[in-house]
Every structure is written in C-alpha cells, then in structure tokens.
C-alpha cells in the first residue's frame, strides 16, 4: 500500500508547520491550554526559528511586536484569557501597525475544558480593529498561516488566528510544503512610524480606519471565504469549525463558509443572503456574525434556536434542524442520555496526581482556620474534597492580590495566598509587592514544582533552561521575595509534613506578611518516582482513614467499611501517607 | 456502518488519564490513513489528563468533517476501564461493538466515601451492550511482560470491528510505537485479536 502524501497533524502542529513554512523567524508565547503545543512543536525547528516562553502573555506580545518592527515574520501564542493580559500592547500596536508579518495565535476554549471562562477572542479583534482568520481543520490552519503573514505585511496590521480547543487538539490530514526564505532583520529608524505620541498617534488613529476599509475590500475576494451552492431553501453562514459540524448535519444546504472571520465580506453575505429562502448563522461562542448580518438588514435564525453557552456540536445542530423544519414532527432528534445503569456511577474528577508535591502544603493548611486564595494551575484541584482547601480562584496572579483585598477589607481570619512557580513569574510578583508595600499580613506561598506543570511542563524564569534548550540564570523566588521587602522567607520540602506544618504555623504567628516557598520537582516531569512505593499492613490498620484524607488516587478504599490499600501501579512513593498514619501501618516496600 | 450515504466509521476510546488512550487512537488513525481514507481524531489535554476520565475519538471514511463522534453514533467503543465504559455507553449506536478491558481504577470520590464503585459492574455492562467483549487485557499484558501494553491488547480485540483496516495494523504500530516497544506491542495486538475469535 502506498502511503498517501498527506500527514496527520493536530491543529497546533499545523500552525507550527505553517509558521515555519511561511518563513517565521521569531516566536513568543506563554503556555495555556489549548494553545501550548504550537511553540513546543515549532521548537523542533529551533535551528531556523528563535523561540521563547516569555514570563507572561503581555511580554510575549510586546516581544513579537518588536520582532515585527525589525522586519521579520513573528508569531505570538496564548490561550484566550492570556489575550486579556496582552490586551494593552495589542490595542496600541493596532495603531502603530506591523512591519514584518505578525500573527497572534489565540486558542479559545468553548465548553471550558481547561479554562476558567469561555470568552470569545473575536471580540478583541473587533475591539483592536484587526482581521481574524478562523481555520476549520489542520490543513486550513497550516495554509492560513502563510496567507495571514501576507495579509499582515500588505496592510501593516497584526492578524489574529483564532483557534478553538477542537481545532487545536483534533488531528486531520494536511499537505505539507517547503519553507520560504525568511526576511532579514533590519529595523528602519522612523519615530513618526513607531512612536504613537499624540501628535503621530492621531494620524495613526485615522489610518486604522483607512486600513479597515481596505481590509473590507480585500475580504470580498479572499479565497478563505466561499459559497458552496446547494439547495437554496436553506442557506447557512458558518465560521471556522462550525462549518465542519454544518456539513455533517446539512449536507445538501447552501453554505457560505467564512475562513476570514472579521471584518466580514458584506457583498458576499448580501449575495448569499439574498439568494436563499431561509438564512441561518452558525458560529461558536458569541453571536458576532449574527449581529452583523442582522445589522445589514437580513432576517436570520441563529442564537434564538441554538445556545451560545458551551461548545457547538453536531447534536446541537440536529436539534436546530428539527426546530427549523416545523412540519417534520415525526423524527425529532433527542441526544441519547447516559444509560440508566450509569446514573449512580462515581464521578471521576481530575485530581492531584500520586506523589504531587502540592499535597503536603494543602494538608498542612487543613489544620488552621484560614482562608485560602488560590490561583490557576494544578493546585486549583485542591479545591475538591477531601483536601477542600481553596476558597477562591480568579486569574493568573490573583492568588496573592485577592488575599490582600480580603485581608484589607477587615476579614478576621488570616488569609493564605497561593500561586505556582510559573504563575509567580507571570504576575505573582506584582501582587506580592502590593502585599508587602501596603503592609498586608497575608501569608504568601509559592508552590514551586520547578515547571509549568498543568500545561505539560514548560520552562519558566525559575528553571534555568530556555525554550531553545540553552542553560540560563535561574531566578530565585526567595531572593525576589527579599528584594520586594519580605522580612521572613522560608523554604520547605513539601514531602516533609512536619517541616511544612512548622513553616505554616510560624508564618501565621508572624505579625506581618511572609513568604513560604515549597520546593520539589513535579514527578511527572522528572518521570521518576519520588521514592520507594508504600503499602498498608492491614493487620495494623485501624481504618481511621487519615491517609485517605490526603486525596491521593493511589490510596484506594474499594467500598465503605473496607480498609484502605495502596495501588502499586499508581503509588509514587512520596511518603506522605506513612507520615499521617498514627498506627505505623504504612511502610516502604523494599525492592 | 449505515448504508452508502454515510460511510464514516466512528470510534470512541475511553479510560483514565495515564492509561494510554491516545496511543490507541493514533494507531487507529494511522491504519486508516494507510487504507487511503480521510481521518479526523480528537483528544483531550490539560486539566482532564490529571487522573480524570479521558475520551478520545477517531472518525474515518471517504470524507470526514467533524472531528467529534456524537452520542448514539459510535460503531465501536473501546474502554480501558469498566466504569468509564458504562459512563460512555450512550455514545454507541444500537448494536455497536463494545470492547472493555476488565480493569477497575477506583476514583478518589469512592475512596473518600462520597460514592460507590458498583459491585455489579459486569452485570451492568452486559445489560448496556448487546455486542460486548470483556477481556482481561491487564493479565494478558502482564503475561507478555509489560502491564502498560493492556491498551494495545484491547485494541487487538477491537480490531475485528474494523475489517477495512485489517492489513494495515502492523505498519501502523511500527509507525506509532518507539522501536524498543514495537515487538511487545505487535504481540499484544495479536494476543488481543485471539479474544474475539
């Protein structure tokens, strides 16, 4: 069998491939599901491309803009909430405009598979008045990169590539190409071009509108937008992956497929809308396209029949189909429900892994009547029972600043603010400065597992390795704390419960704010067990279930009343359970 | 598969983070490519990987648009854990093939006393699936020298539901598995195939 010439790639792999083929020279980002694998895959081409994980998305965006000013093609990657952090440089860069092609690759997460909200990044594109391309699968993701760079350079505008979880993490076949010769960096000095002081910024403001008009003309003839004429009784306008779902459910309808999502091709929409009997808009998340079509004066169906909450799906469109065709009452589609026998199945939420170094700190906090303000990362899982030791979660860095607000509001209980190591460098330091300088008394904790764990183990300024694989200076969290004015700084091994509990008690007894750094590498990254695995001697076990309260997936109680046992396939040998057992029933299994 | 209009084969794979669900989906996709078909797959990353339920999906056929398999349409359900098989039973179409590795992984919700692992799970599986293969893939994999190959043993058993890919499995395994594990996985696949006979 001859293997066909296509390759199966995820959307994120295709974005990386497309950037490389288009001659990208510099790539910046901050990890965030579902965007992370773009830079990880592009890093396989580090001989051709400069790459870095920046401390946060704002820094990444600014650095990518700088590379564009120097005249080369650059990309910046992040998840949707990362764009909030990077919004400041984006809004003004829209005025200044790109030199080398600049693509902002943003991955939205409809359905909140791995995110705290499901905001729609197209709002940001419209806000910044920049075009958005929205691929439906990996092949389009690859091809849109070259198109996007050309568009960016032709109109001196940054271009957003909007991805969603299902585009980023689905695999489909792509046709690969060769790499174009990259441009060479050569910054041309021109203050009125690059400095938006009011005198020049006002002129830039006008040019944003002129550019937008030119883009509206360009999108009318763009190959990314096309009409597939079918039955004209039903016409559907679909953006991005919505097109894929529409093709499954309405194979014979007429479809206007939009790969260039904003600004919209009004003449094309007018031609299409005027030729079909019933017009339906299908888009994921917000109803941006539908609002636009309605504002053009066309009646259409969309959000009135299909919810924008959660991700789009074929079942949602099957329901839409039934609602459109009111005469067809015989075959109403209902999404098959779980079988009756599944009604009482135990839930299986994500949990802190066996051997997770974060567990010890949360267990120690359980001994005090304190409030815990958490953050974004694996440690957010400590909110669930049996640890149940997180009271708030907001955004990257919020773990420290929210603590300060609760404390300063006059709350009687002490507050413990928590961030991870990568989060500390992302935006925890400014919150810590606030607490110290404004005389807060919250205990601040950095859970340092030496990596950005939740997104799949990326380096950060504390690890000492760059995305290019080069050793560099690892920044000390403790020294940063002291430089910010922290008078008391403790470093603990979170696998030693006594040491951890002592540090927490001392910090709470200290009248001012203080910093605790719990340090142990994530065992998923080291791929080494923490120690020899443990087992429970059932003859000594009194079923007090103290070990179960650690919330370790390796400690299993198969049914109520049975004694706990340790699953040898799962145990990572962290030894916490042995430390909490008052009866000496848990011990190391010697090899 | 349902007639000439829709010739797409839908497969869903379920298990618990860390069991190797993604490798199974990759091998099926590679076999389908080798058979000259269009393929789309989907997988989960991020938070769901931390010991939670994992769902992956593969669709192959002449032309595939949606990467997601929707409820009531899967031709085959491949499950590496028994509760996860039942939890996702409604994805299978009527009469579809369910291949379940008889493994039980106790969720933390059970250990902490908040929920129960059903003692009658096997009877429930028999009620939920009219076309069911339950196999002790873990034991078979242990016998071959590596418990981690239980996923490929299960795939071997499920392969009888994918006759169009029959001559492409070896090539797909060679393509997707690192060299040092290749022979083990080929033997695991073959051993799984014996179950369904």
Handedness of CA B58, B59, B60, B63 (dihedral sign): negative
Lowest mean pLDDT among A10-19, A456-465, A477-486, B41-50: B41-50
Question: For residue A3, what is the nearest residue in chain B, using CA coordinates?
Answer: B34
Looking at chain A, the whole-number percentage of residues with pLDDT higher than 90 is 93
What is the reported pLDDT for B51?
74
What is the rounded CA–CA span in Å between residue B180 and residue B148? 14
What is the reported pLDDT for A434?
98
Q: Is residue A377 scored above 50 in pLDDT?
A: yes
CA distance A113 to chain B (A): 7
- Please state the three-class secondary structure of A100-115 as a single string: CCEEEEEEECCCCCCC
CA distance B116 to chain A (A): 6
Top residue of B17, B23, B51 to mutate, by most chain A CBs within 10 Å, is B51
User: Residue B50's pLDDT band (boundaries 50, 70, 90)?
Assistant: low
Within 10 angstroms of residue B28's Cβ, the number of other Cβ atoms is: 29
How would you classify the pairing of strands A260-262 and A132-133? Answer: antiparallel
Name the 3-class secondary structure at A170: strand
Average pLDDT over residues A471-491: 98
Closest C-alpha to B60, from B103, B87, B82, B31: B31
What is the reported pLDDT for A333?
79
Query: What is A431-496 written as a DSSP string?
Result: HHHHHHHTT---EEEEEE-SSBTTTT-B--TTTSB-TTS-B-PPPPHHHHHHHTT-S-EEEE-TT-
What is the reported pLDDT for B5?
47
A178: which residues sit within 8 A by CB, 6+ positions away?
Answer: A21
What is the reported pLDDT for A580?
97
Question: Which residues on chain A are in Cβ contact (under 8 Å) with B172?
Answer: none
Tell me phi and psi for residue A367, to 5 degrees.
Answer: -90, 0
Tell me phi and psi for residue A476, to 5 degrees.
Answer: -85, 125
Closest C-alpha to A207, from A191, A223, A196, A217: A196
Average pLDDT over residues B61-77: 96
What is the reported pLDDT for A570?
87
What is the reported pLDDT for A393?
98
Average pLDDT over residues A407-413: 98
Domain B9-104+128-195 has CATH 3.40.920.10: yes
Q: Using one digit for the tens of pLDDT, what is the confidence trace for A285-339?
A: 999 999 999 999 999 999 999 999 999 999 999 999 988 987 665 567 788 999 9
Could you tell me the two tokens for A466? Answer: 């760059």
What is the reported pLDDT for B48?
55
CB contact (8 A) between residue A346 and residue B34: no
Closest C-alpha to A61, from A85, A80, A43, A36: A85
Average model confidence (pLDDT) for chain A?
Answer: 96
How is residue B3 annotated by DSSP? T
Top residue of A345, A377, A536 to mutate, by most chain B CBs within 10 Å, is A345
User: Residue B4's pLDDT band (boundaries 50, 70, 90)?
Assistant: very low
Tell me phi and psi for residue A535, to 5 degrees.
Answer: -140, 160
- Please state the three-class secondary structure of A237-269 as a single string: EEECCHHHHHHHHCCCEEEEEECEEECCCHHHH
CB contact (8 A) between residue A350 and residue B36: no
Within 10 angstroms of residue A241's Cβ, the number of other Cβ atoms is: 29
What is the rounded CA–CA span in Å between residue A356 and residue A363? 12
A558 close to B (CB below 8 A): yes
Name the 3-class secondary structure at A214: helix
What is the rounded CA–CA span in Å between residue A262 and residue A131? 5
* Per-residue burial over A306-319, b = 16 or more CB atoms within 10 Å of its CB, e = otherwise: bebeebbbbbbbbb
Within 10 angstroms of residue B72's Cβ, the number of other Cβ atoms is: 18
Closest C-alpha to A120, from A334, A290, A237: A290
Tell me phi and psi for residue A234, to 5 degrees.
Answer: -130, 125
Closest C-alpha to B65, from A167, A221, A177: A167
User: Residue B196's pLDDT band (boundaries 50, 70, 90)?
Assistant: low
Question: Which residues on chain B are in Cβ contact (under 8 Å) with A341?
Answer: 86, 89, 118, 124, 127-128
The beta-carbon neighbor of A169 closest among B17, B45, B124 is: B45
Inter-residue contact B25 to B41 (CB < 8 Å): yes
Lowest mean pLDDT among A287-296, A331-340, A504-513, B180-189: A331-340
Within 10 angstroms of residue B145's Cβ, the number of other Cβ atoms is: 10
**Judging by beta carbons within 10 Å of its beta carbon (0-12, 13-18, 19+), is residue A170 exposed, middle or buried?**
buried
Question: Which residues on chain B are in Cβ contact (under 8 Å) with A351?
Answer: 50-52, 108
Average pLDDT over residues A51-75: 98
CB contact (8 A) between residue A170 and residue B40: yes
CB contact (8 A) between residue B47 and residue A350: yes
Inter-residue contact A35 to A105 (CB < 8 Å): yes
Question: Which residues on chain B are in Cβ contact (under 8 Å) with A338?
Answer: 87, 89-90
Question: Which residues on chain A are in Cβ contact (under 8 Å) with B118?
Answer: 341, 344-345
What is the rounded CA–CA span in Å between residue B161 and residue A475? 55
Q: Using one digit for the tens of pLDDT, what is the confidence trace for B15-25?
A: 998 888 999 99
Lowest mean pLDDT among A14-18, A335-339, B27-31: A335-339
CB contact (8 A) between residue B108 and residue A351: yes
Q: Is residue A250 scored above 60 in pLDDT?
A: yes
* Per-residue burial over A390-406, b = 16 or more CB atoms within 10 Å of its CB, e = otherwise: bbbbebbbbbbbbbbbb
Q: Using one digit for the tens of pLDDT, what is the confidence trace for A190-239?
A: 999 999 999 999 999 999 999 999 999 999 999 999 999 999 999 999 99
* A 298-317 residues inside an 8 A Cβ radius of B: 313-315
Average pLDDT over residues A2-9: 73
Structural domains in chain A?
A: 7-220 (3.40.50.970), 225-324 (3.40.50.920), 359-526 (3.40.50.970), 529-591 (3.30.70.20)
What is the rounded CA–CA span in Å between residue A383 and residue B131? 40
CB contact (8 A) between residue A456 and residue B45: yes
User: Where do we find the tokens 């992984």?
Assistant: B105
The beta-carbon neighbor of B50 closest among A6, A378, A385 is: A378
Query: What is A83-149 written as a DSSP string?
Result: HHHTHHHHHHHHHH--SS-EEEEEEE-TT-SS-S----THHHHHHHT--EE--SSHHHHHHHHHHHH
Average pLDDT over residues B32-58: 85
User: Residue A507's pLDDT band (boundaries 50, 70, 90)?
Assistant: very high
Q: Is residue B41 scored above 80 in pLDDT?
A: yes
Average pLDDT over residues A166-185: 97
Looking at chain B, the whole-number percentage of residues with pLDDT higher than 90 is 83
User: Where do we find the tokens 């690892």?
Assistant: A474
Q: Using one digit for the tens of pLDDT, what is the confidence trace for A339-355?
A: 999 999 999 988 899 99
What is the rounded CA–CA span in Å between residue B86 and residue B192? 21
Q: Is the peptide bond before A34 cis (omega within 30 degrees of 0)?
A: yes
* Per-residue burial over A32-63, b = 16 or more CB atoms within 10 Å of its CB, e = otherwise: bbbbbbbbbbbbebeeebbbbbbbbbbbbbbb
Q: Using one digit for the tens of pLDDT, what is the confidence trace for A252-266?
A: 999 999 999 999 999
User: Where do we find the tokens 């091994």?
Assistant: A493
Question: Which residues on chain A are in Cβ contact (under 8 Å) with B84?
Answer: 348
Could you tell me the two tokens for A228? Answer: 């597939």
Question: For residue B51, what is the nearest residue in chain A, using CA coordinates?
Answer: A350
How would you classify the pairing of strands A170-174 and B38-42? Answer: antiparallel
Could you tell me the two tokens for B22? Answer: 């993604």
Closest C-alpha to A350, from A383, A316, A395: A383
What is the reported pLDDT for B49?
60
Domain boundaries of chain B, sorted by first residue: 9-104+128-195
Inter-residue contact B15 to B79 (CB < 8 Å): yes
Average pLDDT over residues A86-103: 98
Closest C-alpha to B53, from B88, B77, B103: B88
Average model confidence (pLDDT) for chain B?
Answer: 92
Q: Is residue A2 scored above 60 in pLDDT?
A: no
């Amino acid at each position: 069998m001859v293997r066909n010439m296509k390759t199966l790639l995820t959307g994120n792999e295709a974005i990386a491939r497309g950037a490389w083929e288009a001659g990208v020279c510099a790539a910046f980002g901050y990890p965030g599901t579902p965007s992370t694998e773009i830079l990880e895959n592009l890093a396989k081409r580090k001989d051709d491309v400069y790459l870095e994980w920046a401390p946060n998305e704002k820094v990444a965006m600014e650095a990518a803009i700088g590379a564009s000013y120097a005249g080369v093609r650059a990309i910046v990657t992040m998840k949707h909430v990362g764009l909030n952090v990077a919004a400041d440089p984006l809004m003004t860069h829209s005025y200044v405009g790109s030199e080398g092609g600049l693509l902002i690759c943003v991955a939205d997460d409809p359905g909140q598979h791995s995110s705290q909200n499901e905001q729609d990044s197209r709002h940001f594109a419209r806000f910044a008045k920049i075009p958005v391309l929205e691929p439906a699968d990996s092949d389009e993701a690859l091809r849109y990169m070259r198109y996007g760079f050309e568009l960016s350079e032709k109109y001196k505008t940054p271009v957003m590539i909007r991805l969603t979880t299902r585009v980023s993490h689905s695999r489909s076949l792509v046709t690969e190409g060769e790499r174009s010769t990259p441009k060479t960096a050569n910054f041309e000095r021109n203050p009125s071009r690059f400095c938006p002081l009011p005198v020049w910024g006002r002129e830039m403001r006008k040019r944003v509108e002129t550019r937008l008009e030119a883009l509206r003309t360009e999108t009318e003839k763009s190959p990314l937008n096309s009409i597939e004429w079918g039955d004209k009784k039903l016409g559907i306008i679909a953006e991005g992956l919505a097109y894929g779902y529409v093709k499954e459910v309405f194979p014979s309808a007429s479809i206007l497929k939009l790969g260039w999502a904003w600004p919209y091709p009004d003449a094309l929409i007018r031609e299409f809308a005027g030729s079909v009997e019933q017009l339906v808009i299908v888009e994921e998340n917000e109803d941006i396209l539908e609002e636009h079509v309605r504002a053009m004066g066309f009646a259409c169906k969309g959000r009135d029949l299909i919810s924008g909450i959660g991700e789009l799906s074929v079942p949602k469109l099957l329901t839409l189909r039934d609602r459109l065709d009111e005469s067809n009452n015989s075959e109403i589609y209902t999404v098959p429900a779980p079988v009756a026998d599944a009604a009482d199945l135990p839930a299986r939420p994500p949990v802190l892994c066996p051997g997770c170094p974060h567990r010890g700190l949360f267990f120690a906090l359980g001994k005090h009547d304190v409030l815990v303000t958490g953050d974004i990362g694996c440690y957010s899982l400590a909110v669930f029972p049996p640890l149940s030791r997180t009271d708030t979660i907001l955004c990257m860095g919020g773990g420290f600043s929210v603590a300060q607000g609760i404390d300063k509001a006059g709350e009687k209980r002490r507050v413990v603010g928590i961030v991870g190591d990568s989060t500390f460098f992302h935006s925890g330091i400014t919150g810590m400065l606030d607490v110290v300088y404004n005389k807060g008394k919250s205990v601040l904790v950095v859970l340092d597992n030496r990596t950005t764990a939740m997104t799949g183990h990326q380096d950060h300024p504390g690890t000492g390795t760059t995305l290019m694989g080069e050793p560099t200076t690892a920044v000390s969290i403790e020294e940063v704390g002291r430089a910010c004015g922290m008078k008391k700084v403790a470093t603990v091994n979170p696998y030693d419960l006594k040491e951890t509990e002592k540090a927490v008690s001392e910090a709470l007894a200290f009248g001012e704010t203080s910093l605790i750094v719990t340090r142990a590498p994530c065992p998923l990254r080291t791929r080494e067990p923490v120690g020899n695995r443990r087992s429970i001697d059932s003859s000594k076990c009194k079923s007090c279930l103290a070990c179960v309260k650690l919330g370790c997936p390796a400690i299993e109680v198969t049914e109520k009343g049975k004694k706990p046992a340790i699953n040898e396939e799962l145990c990572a040998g962290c030894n916490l359970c042995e430390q909490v057992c008052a009866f000496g029933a848990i011990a190391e299994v010697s090899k | 598969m349902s007639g000439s209009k829709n010739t797409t084969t839908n497969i869903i794979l379920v298990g618990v983070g860390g069991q190797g669900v993604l490798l199974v989906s990759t091998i099926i996709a590679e076999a389908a490519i080798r058979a000259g078909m269009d393929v789309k797959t989907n997988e989960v990353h991020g938070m769901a990987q931390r010991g939670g339920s994992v769902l992956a999906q593969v669709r192959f056929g002449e032309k595939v648009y949606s990467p997601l398999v929707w409820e009531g349409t899967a031709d085959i359900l491949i499950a590496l854990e028994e509760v996860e098989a039942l939890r996702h039973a409604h994805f299978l179409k009527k009469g579809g093939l369910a291949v379940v590795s008889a493994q039980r992984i106790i969720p933390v919700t059970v250990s902490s006393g908040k929920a129960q692992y059903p003692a009658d799970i096997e009877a429930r599986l028999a009620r939920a699936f009219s076309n069911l293969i339950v196999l002790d893939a873990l034991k078979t994999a242990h016998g071959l020298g590596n418990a981690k190959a239980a996923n490929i043993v299960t795939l071997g058993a499920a392969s009888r539901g994918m006759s169009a890919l029959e001559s492409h499995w070896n090539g797909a395994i060679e393509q997707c598995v690192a060299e040092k594990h290749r022979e083990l996985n080929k033997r695991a696949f073959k051993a799984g195939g014996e179950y369904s006979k």
